[in-house]
Amino acid sequence: MSTSTLKSYFQLVKFRLTSTVAATSAFGYMLGCQLNNRDHWKDAFEWPVFWAVLIGGMLVVFASNGLNQIIEKGNDSKMSRTATRPIVEERISLSQARIFSWVSGLLGLLLLALFTPFATMWLSMLSLILYVFVYTPMKKVNSLAVMVGAIPGALPPLIGYTAAVGRIDEPGMMLFLVQFFWQFPHFWAIAWMLHDDYQKAGYWLLPSSGGRDKRSAYQILTYTVLLILVSMMPIYYGLSDVKALSMILPVGAFVLYRAWKLFVSLAVPEARKLMFASLLFTPVVFLAYIIF
């Protein structure tokens, strides 16, 4: 396989984005091990399970991203941001993309089925179905698509967690909610930046029908506050110590400040700053849960 072909497949599966998703699954697994045996959590850590979560999860996300681009080929060609994707430019044919995506998805689910609890594999399959067959077509219908898309986007830490504990419980759902609420300031910031481009394809992803207005900015601000509050809940459920607040509150305050600046100015550059600030949030928060 040539370097250019390999690069095309990396673009098809959105490798960098997939890597960050896999990282949240890994965090979830480590937190699940820690909850099972706080004093000697490394004793609960199993490398075969960890690698199955990491690699199996990445393969399922590869499938989700590939199938998403197959479905959206026509709309991707209308937007500047996506006009150079490999399927649009026919560097990868639709048949090649379909085969690669389905094989990746099935291999990922098989790997998870062999090495992790049933709940882990089931949640991964649910994530793929929601992202590809519900969120993707819904983007042209209603801005609530962001809410629907946030569900598969929030499942990776819960998927990793269930691989360690073997069940879906309240602490695991708290991890899900942290990732769920994080997506709103993050993706609405992106939608704010790319609003005009999204309109070319008929996508309406900002929460207000007025687009870049005070109502959209107010919702971003509100969900940022909810995110900070929810990020403290895993401490209550025993996933971490109260000392974790020493990392959670400063990074939360920084993201809230950027959301406030967007609310005041309604400016695209402020949305970009909020997007970058939000990228700091989950790594810092999940690291805080593990450290403390």
The full set of domain ranges for the chain reads 1-168, 170-292
DSSP 75: H
Instruction: Report d(CA 155, CA 53) in Å as an integer.
Output: 12
Question: pLDDT tens digits, residue range 12-33?
Answer: 999 998 999 989 999 999 999 9
Question: pLDDT tens digits, residue range 64-101?
Answer: 999 999 999 999 999 988 999 999 999 999 999 999 99
Domain 1-168 bears CATH identifier 1.10.357.140:
yes
Whether the pTM exceeds 0.85: the reply is yes
Question: pLDDT tens digits, residue range 258-289?
Answer: 999 999 999 999 999 999 999 999 999 999 99
- Nearest of 114, 105, 187, 110 to residue 146 by alpha carbon: 187
**What contacts 279, CB < 8 A, 6 or more positions away?**
186
Predicted pLDDT at 121: 97
Predicted pLDDT at 239: 87
Backbone CA torsion sign across 157, 159, 165, 171: positive
b/e sequence 246-269, b meaning 16+ C-beta within 10 Å? ebbeebbeebbebbbbbbeeeebe
CB 172 within 8 A of CB 165: yes
Tell me how many degrees the CA angle 97-125-116 measures, rounded to the nearest 5.
Answer: 115
Predicted pLDDT at 205: 87
- Nearest of 123, 149, 124 to residue 134 by alpha carbon: 149
CB 14 within 8 A of CB 161: no
- At position 282, the amino acid (one-letter code) is T
Measured between its terminal Cα atoms, the distance across the chain in Å is 45
Predicted pLDDT at 29: 95
Question: pLDDT tens digits, residue range 145-203?
Answer: 889 999 999 999 999 999 999 999 999 999 999 999 999 999 999 999 999 988 888 88
DSSP 292: -
